[in-house]
């Protein structure tokens, strides 16, 4: 009888260990036994949750990248509008020429810095070439390809470089012809990607939901950046400080037109990025809901009733204590007490 009770105690202790584990984890201890034929469905549900978790993590990175993109675009737009205001003043014969040139230099430098913004080691305006800085600084030494190409075009057209005092002899009509001809060619898409930008024209694509893949970036090869760069460069690299009044006015007018087009393009880009941000947020919200539903289904399959689990643990502990008590009493029995 004592041995039988001991074996019973061992069995009860095993069952207690299992019951305590289920009470602690809230799940069946032996899933294969508990859910049986539902194991395949359970595995598929877990795979779906893992997929959602991976896309959610990716979307959080995308959201951060788009936020930096939007901030950069806003800064570029603010600088461009301030430049435009200064140029409108200059067209009315008011304003300091040197201050306007300096403002254009600052705005051009800020534009290059903004287009080289990065997030998590990825250049946000690089497109699919996110590992390479998109824009080369035109103020670098030795001169960048863009600066060298512009100086060569200017010298070829006028017979002297932009730094030569002879720029004062250039007429307004001659400058207009240069800006609309040789200089415009230097800011065409082909020249831009050769001399100015290392970015890809193909935006990044990300899977933002279970069923949808979407573009999640804009690139430095957008036409709006080319227009802004052209407008700033007219003021900084055509010898503006030595031009005659009429010729400088021609440069100011051309630069204003270019910057106007750039500002309009930036507005469109900001709207485009805003749509991307809304899509990513919507996808995150939808997937959070989907995950909750999937988790509820998994819980229904794998979970145990906590109240029932608690009662089971209590009952088993009571049975074990009773068995120990009986075993102790049986071991004290002796026939000699009855002889």
Summarised one tens digit per residue, pLDDT across range 102-113 is 999 999 999 999
Instruction: Give residue 209's pLDDT band: very low, low, confident or very high (50, 70, 90).
Output: very high
Map tokens 């194991």 to a residue. Answer: 39
In this predicted structure, the answer to whether residue 325 has a pLDDT above a threshold of 80 is no
Flag whether pLDDT at 5 surpasses 60.
Answer: no
| % of the chain beyond a pLDDT of 70 | 78
Examine the pLDDT at 299 and tell me if it is beyond 80: no
What confidence category does residue 4 fall into, taking pLDDT thresholds of 50, 70 and 90? low
- Please give the torsion angle defined by the CA atoms of residues 229, 166, 86 and 102, in that order, rounded to the nearest 10 degrees: 70
Q: What's the rounded mean pLDDT across residues 234-258?
A: 95
Phi then psi dihedrals of residue 116, to 5 deg: -100, 15
User: Residue 269: is its pLDDT beyond 80?
Assistant: yes
pTM: 0.79
Instruction: Please report where in the chains the tokens 């287009």 appear, as a residue.
Output: 115
What are the structural domains of the chain? Answer: 47-269 (1.20.1330.10)
Dmax (CA) for the chain in angstroms is 140
Q: What is the pLDDT of residue 120?
A: 87
What is the Cα–Cα distance from 181 to 175, expressed in whole angstroms?
10
Indicate the pLDDT class of residue 115, thresholds 50, 70 and 90.
very high
Q: What is the pLDDT of residue 136?
A: 84
Cα 22 to Cα 17, 32, 36, 315: the distances in Å are 9, 14, 17, 15
pLDDT on residue 223: 96
Across 54-63, 138-147, 271-280, least confident range: 138-147
* Dist. CA 128–CA 57, nearest whole Å: 19
Q: Residue 218: is its pLDDT beyond 90?
A: yes
Banded model confidence at residue 92, pLDDT cuts 50, 70, 90: confident
Q: Which residue has the tokens 């705005």?
A: 107
Please name the helix (run of DSSP H) or strand (run of DSSP E) that holds residue 207, with its range, or none. Answer: strand 205-207
Mean pLDDT, range 21-30, rounded to an integer: 63
């Amino acid at each position: 009888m004592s041995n039988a009770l001991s074996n019973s105690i061992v069995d009860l202790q095993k069952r207690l260990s299992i019951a305590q584990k289920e009470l602690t984890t809230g799940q069946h201890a032996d899933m294969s036994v508990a859910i049986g034929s539902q194991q395949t469905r359970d595995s598929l549900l877990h795979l779906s949750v893992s997929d959602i978790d991976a896309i959610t993590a990716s979307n959080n990175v995308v959201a951060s990248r788009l936020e930096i993109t939007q901030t950069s675009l806003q800064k570029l737009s603010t600088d461009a509008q301030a430049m435009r205001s200064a140029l409108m003043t200059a067209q009315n014969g008011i304003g300091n020429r040197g201050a306007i040139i300096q403002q254009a230099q600052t705005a051009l430098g800020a534009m290059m810095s903004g287009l080289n913004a990065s997030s998590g080691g990825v250049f946000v305006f690089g497109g699919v070439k996110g590992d390479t800085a998109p824009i080369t600084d035109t103020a670098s030494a030795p001169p960048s390809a863009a600066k060298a190409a512009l100086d060569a075009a200017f010298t070829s057209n006028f017979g002297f470089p932009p730094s030569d005092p002879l720029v004062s002899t250039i007429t307004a009509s001659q400058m207009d012809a240069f800006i609309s001809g040789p200089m415009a060619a230097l800011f065409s898409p082909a020249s831009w990607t050769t001399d100015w930008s290392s970015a890809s024209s193909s935006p990044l694509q990300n899977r933002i939901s279970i069923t949808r893949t979407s573009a999640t970036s804009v690139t430095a090869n957008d036409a709006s950046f080319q227009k802004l760069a052209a407008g700033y460069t007219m003021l900084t690299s055509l010898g503006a400080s030595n031009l005659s009044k009429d010729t400088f006015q021609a440069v100011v007018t051309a630069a204003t037109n270019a910057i106007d087009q750039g500002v309009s393009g930036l507005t469109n880009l900001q709207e485009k990025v805003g749509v991307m941000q809304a899509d990513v947020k919507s996808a995150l919200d939808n997937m959070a809901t989907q995950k909750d539903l999937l988790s509820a289904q998994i819980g229904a399959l794998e979970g145990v009733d906590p109240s029932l689990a608690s009662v089971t643990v209590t009952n088993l502990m009571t049975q074990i204590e009773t068995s120990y008590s009986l075993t102790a009493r049986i071991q004290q029995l002796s026939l000699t007490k009855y002889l």
